[in-house]
């Protein structure tokens, strides 16, 4: 199942394939989503309700748009206490990690009377998009909500599509309950994204939209970006495992398949110094996959977008990884912690054989909303800082402004901005 990739002189080609797995947006999809966004912007609730009926089969109106307290209670009754315990534990783990990301305000008081500083302010209102149906992931609710809560976002609303019966997945309701999210709108798709981006008669406009979705949701987020902020446009999931001869092939195989089961476009790559390990991992893959529910997806993704790269030494392995900039990076070597400084590009790093990537999907504490497709070279995973804006301020007394007067005037005139220069000089006229 695991083919060996000859990367000598072909690293750029491999990177292009690895990073180019984004689902292509056809002209038809883009045109459809653009029309939906424009209709929502123009007609508000009327267009929103029409599209919800058309795409989801839900006959929504102002009276059944929101999840009611009774619906919430009915849904939560289906959740046992142990599952609530797991959700609360997950939230606690995410909070413990993310509280260290809290932005800070600061100021400087100079002897000449100048005061300068920075003020950290949370966003006012954020929308969390949660896919419905079988793709409902309560973990994503917590991963997106906790950083926003810690940042101090005043209002978090949720949008999620429902079927004709109008019921929201009970697990999603449970995650929302644990995170204290009370406002849940039963709409999704491109129309839901447009509704929170522009606002309608029934749904308020937000400052930022976070959360995963299908190609229509992703396209809508991309189109609405600028009117509203978004988290990122995520592509298919990926993992890269760096391993030496000491690594356990059973663990590697399990971790590669854990990522491969997400999607036929998912990528799972092993980079190792040991050819023997490649053979052992391949044997484990063929053995373990037999009993997995998503066998077809796993085999397809590993066959088309997976593989093993054998390198001369461990430093070369990290060079390959840094070039590919994977969403998830596992380091399974004899001394993994000492090699952390070698990593430049990765969405999230999992160190040692007892820190498998799925732990990060749920409970390690780090966020699982991560950059994909090589964008880890310039993007970070979701964090508290994504829900905070920074305001800078300064105060200058007249005498200190006077000390900068000539330099600022000269600078402004050199750029042809004489009104800028005048703004300074007018303050010193008799």
Binding residues for Zn(2+): 259, 262, 361, 420
Query: For this structure, is 327 an active site residue?
Result: yes
- For the sheet with 267-272, list strands across it: 4-5, 307-310, 267-272, 238-243, 328-332, 348-351
Cα 219 from Cα 114, distance rounded (Å): 47
Is residue 279 packed enough to be buried (19+ CB in 10 Å), middle (13-18) or exposed (0-12)?
middle
Closest by CA position to 157, among listed 189, 125, 198: 125
Chain Cα centroid distance, residue 172: 18
Closest by CA position to 228, among listed 203, 199, 208, 211: 208
3-state secondary structure of 180: coil
Annotated binding site for substrate: 237, 259, 262, 328, 361, 415, 420
DSSP at 277: H
Annotated binding site for NAD(+): 129, 191, 214
Q: What are phi and psi for residue 331, nearest 5 degrees?
A: -115, 105
Cα 94 from Cα 88, distance rounded (Å): 10
Closest by CA position to 196, among listed 183, 178, 180: 183
Cα 268 from Cα 48, distance rounded (Å): 39
Q: Cβ(376)–Cβ(329) under 8 Å? A: no
Cα 330 from Cα 351, distance rounded (Å): 6
Length of the chain: 430
Annotated binding site: 129, 191, 214, 237, 259, 262, 328, 361, 415, 420
To which H or E segment does residue 189 belong?
Answer: helix 189-198
Query: For this structure, is 328 an active site residue?
Result: yes
Catalytic residue (one of 261, 284, 327, 353): 327
Q: What are phi and psi for residue 33, nearest 5 degrees?
A: -65, -40
Helix axes of 295-305 and 249-260: crossing angle, nearest 10 degrees:
100
Cα 382 from Cα 161, distance rounded (Å): 23
State the alpha helices, DSSP H only, in 240-344.
Answer: 249-260, 275-288, 295-305, 314-324
Q: Cβ(2)–Cβ(307) under 8 Å? A: yes
Catalytic residue (one of 238, 284, 328, 357): 328
Cite the beta strand spans of 114-215 per DSSP E. Answer: 115-122, 125-129, 155-159, 183-185, 208-210
State the catalytic residues: 327-328
């Amino acid at each position: 199942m695991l083919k060996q990739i000859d990367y000598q002189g072909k690293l750029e080609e491999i990177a292009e394939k690895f990073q180019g797995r984004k689902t292509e947006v056809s002209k038809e999809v883009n045109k459809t989503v653009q029309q939906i966004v424009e209709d929502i912007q123009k007609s508000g609730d009327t267009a929103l309700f029409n599209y919800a009926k058309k795409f989801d089969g839900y006959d929504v109106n102002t009276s059944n748009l929101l999840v009611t307290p009774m619906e919430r209670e009915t849904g939560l009754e289906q959740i046992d206490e142990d599952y609530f315990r797991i959700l609360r534990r997950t939230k606690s783990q995410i909070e413990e990690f993310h509280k260290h990301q809290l932005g800070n305000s600061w100021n400087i008081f100079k002897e000449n009377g100048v005061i300068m500083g920075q003020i950290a302010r949370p966003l006012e209102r954020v929308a969390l998009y949660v896919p419905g149906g079988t793709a409902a992931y309560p973990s994503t609710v917590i991963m997106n909500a906790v950083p926003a809560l810690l940042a101090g976002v005043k209002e978090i609303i949720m949008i999620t599509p429902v079927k004709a019966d109008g019921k929201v997945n009970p697990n999603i309701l449970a995650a929302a309950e644990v995170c204290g999210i009370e406002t849940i709108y039963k709409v999704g798709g491109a129309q839901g994204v447009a509704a929170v981006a522009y606002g309608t008669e029934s749904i308020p406009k937000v400052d930022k939209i976070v959360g995963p979705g299908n190609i229509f949701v992703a396209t809508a987020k991309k189109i609405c970006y600028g009117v509203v902020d978004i988290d990122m446009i995520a592509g298919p999931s990926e993992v890269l495992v760096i391993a030496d001869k000491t690594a356990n092939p059973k663990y590697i195989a399990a971790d590669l398949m854990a990522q491969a089961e997400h999607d036929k476009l998912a990528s799972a790559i092993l980079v190792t110094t040991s050819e023997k390990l490649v053979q052992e991992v391949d044997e484990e893959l063929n053995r373990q996959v037999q009993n997995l529910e998503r066998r077809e997806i796993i085999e397809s993704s590993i066959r088309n977008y997976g593989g093993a790269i054998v390198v001369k030494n461990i430093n070369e392995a990290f060079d390959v990884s840094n070039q590919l900039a994977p969403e998830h990076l596992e380091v399974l070597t004899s001394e993994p912690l000492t090699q952390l400084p070698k990593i430049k590009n990765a969405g999230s790093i999992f160190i040692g054989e007892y820190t498998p990537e799925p732990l990060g999907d749920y409970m390690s504490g780090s966020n699982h909303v991560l950059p994909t497709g090589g964008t880890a070279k310039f993007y970070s995973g979701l964090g508290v800082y994504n829900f905070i804006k920074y305001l800078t301020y300064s105060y200058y007394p007249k005498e200190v402004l006077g000390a900068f007067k000539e330099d600022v005037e000269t600078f402004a005139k050199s750029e042809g901005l004489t009104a800028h220069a005048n703004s300074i000089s007018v303050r010193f006229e008799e």
